[in-house]
Amino acid sequence: MSSAHPAVHCEELDWTDTQDASKCPTMLRFLQKASQDLIIGADIVCQISSSSHLNKANGNIQVYDPSIILPLVHTLRMALEGNGSEFKVALIALAVRNQATLTKFLQTAEEYLVVEKLNHDLANEELFWGMKRPIDMANETNVEIFKLQYRHA
């Protein structure tokens, strides 16, 4: 599907809105309107910073920040909550740059969601035509992929 397709939309989504009771209803309406069955995320446990002393990646500075984990998990939980007859799933790929941050993400996610680690072998996959590994993965950064689903009480 092309990004020009009328069914494709881009919207800003501030995960911290799930931490503000006055903004939660707006977030919930947005997620219900989106009515997604599948959420795909990659390297989402980070914030973009303007601090110049940090390492730059792709022109942006990414800080792996544990303080955004709870808002992210609450947003995913809200997005994955269905009416009981729906099946919704999130597939999240995370480059393991800091084991403590990954551990905190998993511990927090497991409190609110069903988390399943998916086995893969990205090192041996041709991810792009003619390339075995993307340039930014050349330093052997480990990537882990997780399937997340709503945890019913």
| CA–CA distances in Å: residue 122 to residues 40, 131, 137 | 17, 12, 10
Please say whether the dihedral angle defined by the alpha carbons of residues 94, 99, 102 and 106, taken in this order, is positive or negative.
positive
* Residue 57: per-residue pLDDT: 44
Tokens 């730059």 belong to which residue?
Answer: 56
* Residue 53: per-residue pLDDT: 39
Backbone angles phi, psi at 62, to 5 degrees: -110, 130
Chain CA centroid to CA 36, Å: 14
Q: In 18-46, which positions are buried (b, 16+ CB within 10 angstroms) versus exposed (e)?
A: beeeeeeeebeeebeeeeeeebeeeebbb
CA distance 147 to 134: 22
CA distance 83 to 87: 9
* Residue 47: per-residue pLDDT: 52
Q: Which residues of the chain have pLDDT under 70?
A: 1, 45-64, 83-86, 122-141
* Residue 126: per-residue pLDDT: 56
* Residue 64: per-residue pLDDT: 60
* Residue 148: per-residue pLDDT: 95
Give bridge partners of residue 114 from the DSSP assignment: 149
The pTM for the full model equals 0.74
